[in-house]
Structure 1
Amino acid sequence: MTDTSVRQDSPTAPQQSAPEGGDAAPARSLGADARRQLARSPLFWVSAALISVFVLMAIWPSLFTTVSPNESILRESRSLPSSDAWFGRDFQGYDIYSRVIYGARASILVGIFTTTFTVLVGGMIGTLAAYNGGWIDGIISRITDMFFAVPFILGAILFMSALADSFTSYFGVIFKVVLALTIFGWPSLARLMRSSVLTVLPNDYIRATKALGASPWRIIRSHIIPNAMGPMIVVATINLGAYIAAEATLSFLGIGLTPPVVSWGVMINDSIVGLRTTPHMILFPSLFLSLTVLAFIMLGDAVRDAFDPKSR
């Protein structure tokens, strides 16, 4: 009869080796976990694919069409979609498909620039308020409350109306819309950044860095901002689509982007008079606008789920 105990204690028997000292697997950072989560998210890949197409349309419109957006054929005005004009033509005889392609540039530029400026302004002001506290925090909080008292779109309408006769060039009109949306869009991001920084400040590594004599700028740049930017990235991604929709709203009202600038909001404004008789003129720019906003919202949802450990 074989001695089982001897065989189990034999040096040739396979044994499972545990990590020395009980060490666990190497810990991954939040950013690494977020990237792994995004790589497994179908929502992220669908939204990223849509956004890539729209950005490519804005950067290189001639890749999608060789027809000029300002080439007018009046005898074919209001014509239905056909092989010559895939989306039909508008009242001025412009090719709607070509104008939809070229309209992506202005709309996406407004969204990107507004998001960039609101993140920079709101992030800087929110960090300043949370880090210094005291009367500085109090004054900044009251200023943001004053901006919150004015509805976002109403404030942008008033601002655009006050500057109706200025900045008439292509980039001047875009800058005017970006400026209006930035002025009334930064307070929400400033408040978000303030609350995020307040959750980071009590951590031990911040106290240790202060005790070692690091300057406030180094603490903010190297430790606070990298650990407090997660919520800002999520909200900014969603806001980018919202700013594109806000530009379309202002252009639809006739006080946003104006001709000769081509944008989806301008096209919707031009085609509203033919809503019943020629609905195709408003259908296609509205469809592309909705898909763009939806893509950025889906991307924001995917990023939020990736950066939120509670969702996993």
Structure 2
Amino acid sequence: MPEPDPYENPKEAVAPTGAGGAMDLAMSEAETLERGGTGRPRSLWSDAWHQLRRNPVFLVSALLIVFLVLIAIWPQILTGADPLRCDLSKSQQGSAPGHPFGYDTQGCDVYTRTVHGARASITVGVCATLGAALLGSLLGGLAGFFGGWWDALLSRIADVFFGIPVVLGGLVFLSVVTSSTVWPVVGFIVLLGWPQIARIARGSVITAKQHDYVQAARALGAGSGRMLLRHVGPNAVAPVIVVATIALGTYIALEATLSFLGVGLRPPTVSWGIDISNAAPQIRNAPHMLLWPAGALSVTVLAFIMLGDAVRDALDPKLR
């Protein structure tokens, strides 16, 4: 009786058991791992999340940021004291029971003010980042997608803002503002921060709209709005998220710098920059006044920069 030909009935074909079969099995397992075990290829965001979960830098920075946000919203988690309650008889005294960070020049508890100072800094950083990211993404995305005179006009306006020194601009702009709230500082940072986001969004949109799927959507009759919202925008937003995350830490440092110079946040607002400014003249006599708010500021800025670096590495396959 003749042997059956496996090529006549593929279902009865037997997989090779030699080196070729082992190689096919390994390739199949690798493909399954690449798809995350779900049978479907990972998207950019799911693949980035897969990478972030395995990155210790992301985990440490994310946990630290969550802790900072919690104490910014509910400082009562760590202290129930009033940061504006001071006792001049304890001016510049060191650590004491119940007051581990000592007292400042006005006799205020440094620990309580350091905890409550997170609210102003986090609020300025988050609000300024959201404002700059939304405004810059909108203007830069439209300029990159439509081009022409709109692109040229936006580029020249952005160049003007790039030429303004940040600290000098803050001294001029905020010196005429009498409000002690965070919103003038947020508005100033958004005013000078959107051009950077706009330039990143413009370049990302120009790259995305050259892809074949965008050209295919255009050939099928999709309108400009649909292509921008459904095809170009989602595939161009990753660089903007990376830059905005890193910029958030920079904006927190900028707020502290402006408050240190006396044109940012003003008393009675509790801010790390204000406390650093008050402690600077007494750094030799009472270094603890400067150490704790400056340390909290440095850790916060470092956490957001580390988070931005981790997100950048996860969203950019070239860096893996």
TM above 0.5, yes or no, is yes
Spell out the pairing of 1:32-47 with structure 2 (5 A cutoff).
32-47=46-61
Distance 1:153 1:188 in 2: 16
Q: Which residue of 1 aligns with 2:152?
A: 138
Spell out the pairing of 1:108-187 with structure 2 (5 A cutoff).
108-161=122-175, 163-165=176-178, 167-168=179-180, 173-187=181-195
Match for 1:164: what amino acid?
A: V
Distance 1:148 1:109 in 2: 24
- Tell me if the contact between 1:152 and 1:185 (Cα under 8 Å) persists in the aligned partners: no
**Structure 2 residue 273 is matched with structure 1 residue 265:** yes
Q: Which residue of 2 aligns with 1:6?
A: none
Distance 2:233 2:274 in 1: 38
Aligned-pair Cα RMSD in Å: 2.1
- Tell me if the contact between 1:47 and 1:295 (Cα under 8 Å) persists in the aligned partners: yes
Task: Quote how far apart the aligned CAs of 1:44 are.
Answer: 0.3
- Structure 1 outlier segments of 4+, above 2 Å: 13-19, 24-27, 211-215
- Which of 91, 95, 100 matches 1:86? 100
5+ residue gaps, structure 2, are: 1-11, 33-39
Match for 2:61: what amino acid?
A: S
- Tell me if the contact between 2:259 and 2:266 (Cα under 8 Å) persists in the aligned partners: yes
Distance 1:146 1:230 in 2: 26
Distance 2:132 2:223 in 1: 26
- Tell me if the contact between 2:177 and 2:184 (Cα under 8 Å) persists in the aligned partners: no
Q: Which residue of 1 aligns with 2:302?
A: 294
- Tell me whether 60-69 or 218-227 shows the greater mean CA deviation: 218-227
Q: Which residue of 2 aligns with 1:8?
A: none
Task: Quote how far apart the aligned CAs of 1:253 are.
Answer: 0.1
Q: How many residues align?
A: 295
- Tell me if the contact between 2:95 and 2:102 (Cα under 8 Å) persists in the aligned partners: yes
Distance 1:27 1:235 in 2: 27
Q: Which residue of 1 aligns with 2:45?
A: 31
SS in 1 for 2:182: helix
Distance 1:83 1:53 in 2: 25
- Tell me if the contact between 2:62 and 2:307 (Cα under 8 Å) persists in the aligned partners: yes
- Tell me if the contact between 2:170 and 2:263 (Cα under 8 Å) persists in the aligned partners: no
Task: Quote how far apart the aligned CAs of 1:14 are.
Answer: 7.9
Match for 1:144: what amino acid?
A: A
TM-score computed with the length of structure 2 as normaliser: 0.88
Match for 1:236: what amino acid?
A: A
Task: Quote how far apart the aligned CAs of 1:149 are.
Answer: 1.1
Q: Which residue of 1 aligns with 2:264?
A: 256
Distance 1:279 1:84 in 2: 19
Identity of aligned residues (%): 48
Match for 1:123: what amino acid?
A: S
SS in 1 for 2:97: coil
**Structure 2 residue 218 is matched with structure 1 residue 210:** yes
Task: Quote how far apart the aligned CAs of 1:213 are.
Answer: 2.3
Match for 1:84: what amino acid?
A: G
Q: Which residue of 2 aligns with 1:199?
A: 207
5+ residue gaps, structure 1, are: 1-10
Task: Quote how far apart the aligned CAs of 1:215 are.
Answer: 2.5
SS in 2 for 1:157: helix
SS in 1 for 2:259: helix
Match for 2:220: what amino acid?
A: L
Distance 2:96 2:52 in 1: 40
Distance 1:77 1:144 in 2: 48
